Structure 1
Amino acid sequence: MSRSEALGKEPVGKLLWDFSVPAIVGMMVNGLYNIVDSIFVGNYVGEVGLTAVTIAYPIMLVMMAFGMLVGIGAASLVSIRMGERNQAGAEKILGNALAMLIIMAVTFTAIFVLFLDPILLMLGAGGDVLVYAREFTQVILLGSLAMYVGFGLNNVIRSEGNPSIAMYTMLISAVINTILNPIFIMWLGMGIKGSALATVIAQTVSAIWVIAYFMGSKSVLKIRSENLRLDWRIIGQIFKIGISPFLMQIAASVVTLLFNISLINYGGALAVAAYGIVARVAMMILMPIFGITQGAQPIIGYNYGAQNYDRVIEAVKKAVFAGTALSVLGFIAVQILDVYIVRLFNNNPDLISLGSYAIRIVLLMLPLVGFQVVGASYFQAVGKAGMATFLSMSRQVIMLIPLIVILPKFFGLNGVWAAGPTADLISAILTGTFLFAEMKRLKRAAVS
């Protein structure tokens, strides 16, 4: 039985475990990737370096957004084509995805490099923060092609039924980054530029690994030169499905920008540094939940394509349970260990006090976030891009952005911190309503 056929025959619980555990490990390591960067920058460059990285972070989110637009859209289509036993169609999607990632990398890198200072100033950088942010971002941008290709195509590796290789991609990158960060920052004295260089080298190695996989004998799908010619019908399908995570990432960039502006206005540079810590801790908690959604995606997509709706429902239930359990554990950890977590990044007493307070408030609704993320990802996995986009954006844009603007006017800095958990609560209610209706529809379809 081939790896793709196993998606429709093996027990759903075993499949979810087999696919999610490597994804969770990979995502956790990827989360550590950013945590390590911030710890070294915060401790050896200082609060100004941590603030600079936080200010520049929306640019990295935009880059990731375009990688997700193509990578996740292509991955969902590949899963569906494999469920339809259409390998040639899946390979054409892979080739078009690679070509589009290269075009995007070259185009957007050129734009960001040309207008970097105005963009950083718009993001809130100034004085020493601008100098550090420029140094960091210039290096990241010049190595962005590797990030686009490695990050984008790694999703397809998982969708073709090889989650372990996808995990190794992230492990390789994270281990290299973790080793190089202290070498470049501490021993070679490169400061914040060293952190960026470590990231670029790690991403380049993982991109080479991904391309080698698809060119080698272990992959089901192959990169073929004839499939690199863009087919705009396929690109349209990729964009249609990938638009949800893309908009979610763009929204995350806008939200980070608005947070930074509000924090500067109501709390100053120290509040921005505190938010940088909170955002990275939140990412670390969300990474295993994203791992579950990535593990469930090929199972749901394949069985939806094969019209095995009972298996789709079972996969959703198990993924929701696992995601909720992880988010509850994360909530307990941050409420108990808040001071110790912040202290990892910097020993400034004022930053520790502000950061520990912020982390408890901002992550107050974590127990609901696991369900919301998994629920929204179901619609993406089955190709219902409109609903996936709406549910994803309900948390990141529709609710959150107005709350960031309105609440601080009444509650000051506390209003900034409270915007996130308020949006989490509302979006979880919305997701539950639509997911419940969808599961009822699938049950009727399975019986008929």
Structure 2
Amino acid sequence: MSITSTDLANKDIKQLLFRQSVPASIGILFMTVNVLIDTIFVGRWIGALAIAALSVVMPITFFISSMGMAIGIGGSSVLSRALGKGNREKALNTFAHQIMMTFGIASLFVIIGFFFSEEVLFAFGANGDIMAPAKEFFLPILFAVPFQAFCMTGNNVIRAEDKSRHAMVAMIISAVSNIILDIVFIKVLNLGVFGAALATSFSFFLCFLYILWFFIYKSELKLELKHFVFHKKLAREILSLSFVTFARQGVISILAIILNHTLYAEGGEHAVAVYGIISRMLMFALFPVLGITQGFMPIAGYNYGAENYSRVRETIFTSIKYAALFAVIVFIVVLTFAKPIVSVFTTDAVVIADTPGALRWVFAASPIIAVQLIGAAYFQAAGKATKALLLTLSKQGFFLIPLVLILPQFFGIFGVWVSFPIADVLSTIVTGLFLRQEMTHHLKKE
């Protein structure tokens, strides 16, 4: 095992968390800035209807590519614990299985998406005038999804090797290239929504090339043909943990379907555009919290595999403390500058008027989400798939979807926005109880 990965067992937790989380946060920042700028370009250069189209298409493509994210996170949990136990051969076999499973499953979904594109788009909320630009945006991106899926898998494996700077560079390459190509295809060549899709597709491919280069020349995981022999038991272990992330992304996609249809029924295309802006802000504003969560997982997973439970406890407490601090800062900024933030995205007067209030409600409980995110991530890092699944699904699946279905019947569109903080509070309480029980009983053992 390399000196780099053994640092996870020996270095100061704060230093490790900083080393893991800062590159992850910067990578997520570039990725979300990319999405934000993409939305701004589309909203200002094409129109609010194009933002609504993006709100329909992006959950579909993220659902397909999330197989890569799921296999990346689930497999990297297996990989980190294998490295922690000194089982290098299992780590290599795990990585090979991640590659085979990612390309196989993502390609299958692409075929389904291609042959049933209109049905899929309609199911995700491409109602009325939204369908035409949504279809124009969907098809070019669809064929680039396997590359995006591999990028998501590779990113998590890179972090499991404790080489998070390379993971950061991969995300920066994708983000910067997309912004440049957006300007070329949308503004210069005037290709509209199709140009935005081309820009995104090429950015996925460039990210894929960088990650491929990393694994050929820089990675400590040097694969051979023998590692690509399929092992049913190992595949089942990877899938059991991957299912946690994939189920979360699946539930997020179901939520997107319900939200898009509910918002269209309550406020038409403009309401869908409002949520399009809010969803981008959710991705962007919480980047440091998500970065800490990603930085937390390899440290917790490695030390859990090494049965060093005192370091696992310390990692949990430290991660929650810093993630909560950033979440509070995000809450204050959004609360204070909601209207100026919205005005950046569009010149549409109706959208500018309706979005700030909704944005404040959606972010209302953000100061407490660190417990929910870190708690669910711990159970995944520790290989406890059932608890990780339940906690990961708690916000969107068990609370938010039912609330979005019920509250608008009594409060109209306001019922949609207030569902978000209620779901945050309830899921945080549940996660806190699970985490407290785990730390009281299991993590006391040495």
Normalised TM-score (structure 2)? 0.98
What is the DSSP-based 3-state SS (H/G/I as helix, E as strand, rest coil) of the residue aligned with 2:307?
coil
What is the DSSP-based 3-state SS (H/G/I as helix, E as strand, rest coil) of the residue aligned with 1:399?
helix
Cα contact 1:309–1:445 (8 A) shared by 2: yes
Deviations 1:200-258 (A, max 9, x none): 11111111111221111x21112322222322211111111111111111111111111
Q: How many Å separate the matches in 2 of 1:190 and 1:29? A: 24
What is the DSSP-based 3-state SS (H/G/I as helix, E as strand, rest coil) of the residue aligned with 1:36?
helix
Cα offset, 1:370, TM superposition = 2.1
What is residue 165 of structure 2 aligned with on the other side?
164
What is the DSSP-based 3-state SS (H/G/I as helix, E as strand, rest coil) of the residue aligned with 2:345?
coil
Q: How many Å separate the matches in 1 of 2:161 and 2:174? A: 21
Q: CA RMSD in A?
A: 1.2
Q: How many Å separate the matches in 2 of 1:341 and 1:180? A: 24
Cα contact 1:289–1:370 (8 A) shared by 2: yes
What is the DSSP-based 3-state SS (H/G/I as helix, E as strand, rest coil) of the residue aligned with 1:268?
helix
Cα contact 2:52–2:130 (8 A) shared by 1: yes
Deviations 1:281-334 (A, max 9, x none): 011123322211111111101111111111100001010011111111111111
2:374 is aligned with what amino acid? V
Q: How many Å separate the matches in 2 of 1:229 and 1:148? A: 21
What is residue 404 of structure 1 aligned with on the other side?
404
Report whether the alignment pairs 1:313 with 2:318.
Answer: no
Count of matched residue positions in the alignment of Structure 1 and Structure 2: 445
What is the DSSP-based 3-state SS (H/G/I as helix, E as strand, rest coil) of the residue aligned with 2:9?
coil
Cα contact 1:369–1:428 (8 A) shared by 2: yes
What is residue 82 of structure 2 aligned with on the other side?
81
Report whether the alignment pairs 1:69 with 2:70.
Answer: yes
Cα contact 1:263–1:271 (8 A) shared by 2: yes
Cα offset, 1:42, TM superposition = 0.6
What is residue 445 of structure 2 aligned with on the other side?
445
Cα contact 2:5–2:83 (8 A) shared by 1: yes
Q: How many Å separate the matches in 1 of 2:247 and 2:66? A: 7
Q: How many Å separate the matches in 2 of 1:230 and 1:346? A: 50
Cα contact 1:289–1:374 (8 A) shared by 2: no
Cα contact 1:71–1:152 (8 A) shared by 2: yes
Cα offset, 1:188, TM superposition = 0.6
Q: How many Å separate the matches in 2 of 1:370 and 1:402? A: 23
Cα offset, 1:121, TM superposition = 1.6
Cα offset, 1:65, TM superposition = 2.4
Normalised TM-score (structure 1)? 0.97
Cα offset, 1:183, TM superposition = 1.0
Deviations 1:90-123 (A, max 9, x none): 0111111101111112211000000000111222
What is residue 338 of structure 2 aligned with on the other side?
338
Cα contact 2:130–2:269 (8 A) shared by 1: no
Q: Which moved more, 1:132-141 or 1:235-244?
A: 235-244
2:222 is aligned with what amino acid? K
Cα contact 1:91–1:223 (8 A) shared by 2: yes
Q: How many Å separate the matches in 2 of 1:10 and 1:36? A: 38
Q: How many Å separate the matches in 1 of 2:113 and 2:4? A: 41
Cα contact 2:147–2:205 (8 A) shared by 1: yes
Cα offset, 1:127, TM superposition = 4.2
What is residue 239 of structure 1 aligned with on the other side?
239
Q: How many Å separate the matches in 2 of 1:242 and 1:292? A: 20
Q: How many Å separate the matches in 2 of 1:345 and 1:229? A: 49
What is the DSSP-based 3-state SS (H/G/I as helix, E as strand, rest coil) of the residue aligned with 2:199?
helix
Cα contact 2:148–2:204 (8 A) shared by 1: yes
Deviations 1:322-355 (A, max 9, x none): 1111111111111111011111110112111101
Q: How many Å separate the matches in 2 of 1:349 and 1:230? A: 56
2:161 is aligned with what amino acid? E
Deviations 1:48-72 (A, max 9, x none): 1011111222202311321122111
Cα contact 1:30–1:171 (8 A) shared by 2: yes
Cα offset, 1:11, TM superposition = 0.8
What is residue 36 of structure 1 aligned with on the other side?
37
1:173 is aligned with what amino acid? S
What is residue 198 of structure 1 aligned with on the other side?
199
1:59 is aligned with what amino acid? I
Q: How many Å separate the matches in 1 of 2:355 and 2:395? A: 23
Which structure 2 residues correspond to residues 328-407 of structure 1 after superposition, within 5 A? 328-407=328-407
Cα contact 2:65–2:106 (8 A) shared by 1: no
Report whether the alignment pairs 1:426 with 2:433.
Answer: no
What is the DSSP-based 3-state SS (H/G/I as helix, E as strand, rest coil) of the residue aligned with 1:208?
helix
Cα offset, 1:443, TM superposition = 4.6
What is residue 156 of structure 2 aligned with on the other side?
155
1:68 is aligned with what amino acid? M
What is residue 324 of structure 1 aligned with on the other side?
324
What is residue 100 of structure 1 aligned with on the other side?
101
Q: How many Å separate the matches in 2 of 1:197 and 1:370? A: 36
Report whether the alignment pairs 1:18 with 2:19.
Answer: yes
Cα contact 1:99–1:229 (8 A) shared by 2: no
Q: How many Å separate the matches in 2 of 1:438 and 1:373? A: 15
Cα offset, 1:360, TM superposition = 0.7
Which runs of 5 or more structure 1 residues have no equivalent in the other structure?
none
